[in-house]
Structure 1
């Protein structure tokens, strides 16, 4: 049975996503949720890994770093592989790799095998998100990209919020093994659903694989992100463990840029930047993701370190942000398709900055209703910002460019998120180290210093100083968020600006014709 996902649906009922597209969206969201949850769910298990494997924090932190680096290394090849093997085959393969890695993680007997299994997990998980964007964009067509991007935004919200809650609950109710084993039943269901629902692959002439580009970009991204991820551990960018890999990685990425500009079919098509809308969207997304993802690590840390909340409670206290985004995200998706993302993104950034301003005034006893209300306002802004920016990029691409475009945007997200996390961590660490009382209290929180070794008055002063350190760090985040307004001013503000000239679509060679036409969704 075939359910068209192209012009008939788009033209006849522009306000709705048809049943076939919604089924595809469900499959894609399921895979994306697993991939994104596994970034955050492991963060709450690090102390458990320390005691279980008798390892240092720096060692167990590699369970997160290895996963992130694997994601960064595999994302660049996704666009080419999707064109070569087909999105459905590659998506199913990614699910298998991810679930296999999850099972191996649960069977780890030492920290080394656990880190190795996390790399395998990352290789599968890294392809799920860009593939999901490609599949959904092609299924819905350019007129409905805003709405499908809103759907894909759900796992991006559930990851940071649900990860700590789920991880904390599983560790308390069962054992650490279940933070990985839970992916087995979900992964099996996702595989069956993807096999039945996703459109059949349509073989097309494939381009020659860019081995030189692969040898430059994937190791370059991994090395650069490794150096950036090492900044919080060393507290400075001047450490050799930070500078050496970061410089080597950056040099490889720059070499890739020169290589890609001279090659006809590079691993990542940098000629996409000739598309004005995509270029503006990439600049806006880069600034936004650095600011927002950097700030995202501060919220639960404040609840854990200053307010002495449990991991589970810290996750629950983040829920208003997700609730706010869930309200505005579907509305923003619909309006983006009708009016363009420009006005929505500007409004969203203003809301995020307004909500985050509350956190610049943090004290040790700031009212919870005030903090929760501010997070809700930020969530409203979040729902109007991230996915409309993504829409501005992908809706302006032809059918043949979508796979490469979604890959490019995912590289931007992964790199920006790592940079933002590292920058905010270093700023917070330096703020703490500049205050002796805050340093003493933080030592107690981290378990490095016994509480009875610190005078009560120092603990009280240190708690307040630690809260102020968080407030100062949030001030930097607010400034970065406000700076996002500059490129956001140039985002398209009309529907017409989001369309491309169909004459430039290479789909005509394959019988696609108009760039706005997507292949039909085939339900098996």
Structure 2
């Protein structure tokens, strides 16, 4: 496991292909940066949106849920759309739809119109990331894919961390409408850059839509995300169990169908390859764990410690900076040294960081103690997720890249939704057992008076600590899988089209 990889012939920095790949990656980053930021910015604003529209919080929650469901519904069709119309066209169209949707949300006049326009946003957002990954991977030589994916991963990892402070600042100083209007200038610049810099990617020969696959996979995605979003306090409710079971049945039918049809919606058979399938499993475990911590950490700062949304976000800024730096370093290293060294080191750092944070947090622990552990955790996340994604897609042929990138986005969406729901249930159970008088579970925390919150702070911190056991355990499981799958990954050669 300590043997280094044989030297890899690298493209010189001045090589036109390398420069072209960098330009493409930075161009699609300009468009993708809005997507992860938008999710966390809106999450911070739900209480304010409830006040502004006069809608109850469970109703206004659909501003977030409707967006996520629309996102999940369209992702499965991304590979077909890129094969039919080309990745460049899909990226431009999705970016335009997301930008227009943002303006419409800013102009909404009540909760119903806001939710409807958020669905429009989600439909555009679901196509953006698969198309961005496809364009970047097509442009990059195989030996440059780690570096290019590192650039592409900046919005994915850093965006959710920067969203809370940005949303808090906008709410404190501007109208809530600017949460969405800010996407207009960003979107217009991104569209201009994309039209200027993005190459045309050859379309696949088989452009026929696998309607049966879409009818199976799209509802499966929506049902699983819906069931997960309703699992706030219990998993054993009909509203949760029925859609989840139906989703799993549809997913099983889709896999069976995809393995039997010559032109499936997604090439599920790619997951049988050691690096593609194994890397996808590592991503499912680690991404689900990492993004679920973004529910627990801000909640701890705001409720157990009484910080404002802006202050809680500022406490997470050092994590975002280090995550961005570690993505760039690891993305370059994975092209040069044994991949296991990079990924295993990153996951180990994440496990140590979040485990240390969980073990030491209480209602009074100094931030000088807690924040460094979070910084270690996010540094590890940056050093593991994108390198693993690079390995999972490195040996794909050009006509396999749309399916590969779409599957990764599908799996990450499902893993994040399910793990976040499980963490929310664990948190609610912990709060119920420690604070039996609390009404409304996690949502009831927002209704506590300052004095009641201070009195409940030790119990809240204990509940957050207990809920963190799941993501930390999943990260440890991801490390075990990586050790098994990525052993001598530098010597694995999976020729395109195999």
| TM-score range for the pair, normalised by the shorter chain length | over 0.9
- After superposition, the Cα gap between the structure-2 partners of 1:441 and 1:59, relative to the gap in structure 1 and judged at 3 Å, is closer
SS in 1 for 2:262: coil
Query: 2:35 aligns to what?
Result: 35
> Could you tell me which residue of structure 2 aligns to residue 471 of structure 1?
465
Contact map agreement 1:359 1:474 (CA 8 A) in 2:
no
Q: Which residue of 2 aligns with 1:51?
A: 51
- Distance (Å, rounded) in 1 between the aligned partners of 2:133 and 2:126: 12
Q: Does 1:331 align with 2:329?
A: yes
Provide the secondary structure at the position in 2 that maps to 1:339.
Answer: coil
Query: Do the aligned partners of residues 88 and 441 (structure 1) sit closer, same or farther apart at CA in structure 2, a change above 3 Å counting?
Result: closer
Asked whether the equivalents of residues 72 and 126 of structure 2 are also in contact (C-alpha less than 8 Å), the reply is yes
In structure 2, the partner of 1:415 is 414
1:24 aligns with 2:27: no
Are residues 285 and 173 of structure 1, via their aligned partners in 2, closer, same or farther at CA, if it must alter by over 3 Å? Answer: same
CA distances 1:109-130 after superposition (whole Å, capped 9, x unpaired): 1111111111110111111111
Query: For 2:438, what is the secondary structure of its paired residue?
Result: helix
Local SS of the residue matching 1:325: helix
Question: In the alignment, what sits opposite 2:235?
Answer: 237
Q: Which residue of 2 aligns with 1:520?
A: none
| 1:444–1:450 CA contact under 8 A, matched in 2 | no
Task: Supply the distance in 1 between the matched residues of 2:450 and 2:203 (Cα, whole angstroms).
Answer: 65
Counterpart of 2:96 in structure 1 is 96
Taking the TM superposition and a 5 Å limit, the aligned residue runs for 1:284-323 are: 284-323=282-321
Q: Structure 2: where are the runs of 5+ without partners?
A: 1-8
**Match of 1:4?**
none
TM-score by length of 2: 0.93
Distance 1:488 1:265 in 2: 31
Partner residue of 1:490?
484
- Work out which of the residue numbers 262, 266, 269 in structure 2 matches 1:268: 266
Cα distance, 1:14–1:223 mapped onto 2, change above 3 Å: farther
Partner of 1:180: 180
Deviation at 1:379, TM superposition (A): 2.1
Q: 1:338 to 1:193 in 2, by over 3 A?
A: same
Q: CA separation in 2, counterparts of 1:478 and 1:426?
A: 16
Where does residue 357 of structure 2 map in the other structure?
359
Question: Which SS does the other structure have where 1:223 is aligned?
Answer: helix
Aligned positions, number: 489
Post-superposition Cα deviations, 1:399-427, rounded to whole Å, max 9, x if no partner, equal 21111100000011111111111111110
Contact 1:395 1:499 in 2 (8 A): no
| Contact 1:28–1:132, Cα closer than 8 Å, also in 2 | yes
Q: Is residue 194 of structure 1 aligned with residue 204 of structure 2?
A: no
Q: Distance between the aligned counterparts of 1:441 and 1:62, measured in 2?
A: 18
Q: 1:329 Cα shift?
A: 1.5
Change (3 A) 1:460 1:36: closer
Q: Of 269, 273, 280, which residue of structure 1 is paired with 2:278?
A: 280
Contact 1:439 1:462 in 2 (8 A): no
Q: Distance in 2 between matches of 1:374 and 1:194?
A: 38
Q: Is the 8 A contact 2:150 2:386 kept in 1?
A: yes
Structure-1 separation of matches of 2:41 and 2:223: 24
Secondary structure class of the residue paired with 1:42: helix
Cα gap change, 1:242/1:123 in structure 2, threshold over 3 Å: closer, same or farther?
A: same
Q: CA deviation at 1:283?
A: 1.1
How many angstroms does 1:368 deviate by?
A: 0.5
User: Aligned runs of 1:374-385 on 2, under 5 Å?
Assistant: 374-385=373-384
Larger Cα Rg: Structure 1 or Structure 2? 1
The aligned residue for residue 169 of structure 1 is: 169
CA offset at residue 341 of structure 1?
A: 2.4
TM-score by length of 1: 0.89
* Cα separation, 1, equivalents of 2:448 and 2:330: 48
CA contact (8 A) 2:138 2:201 kept: no
Equivalent position of 1:500 in the other structure: 494
CA RMSD for the aligned pairs? 2.2
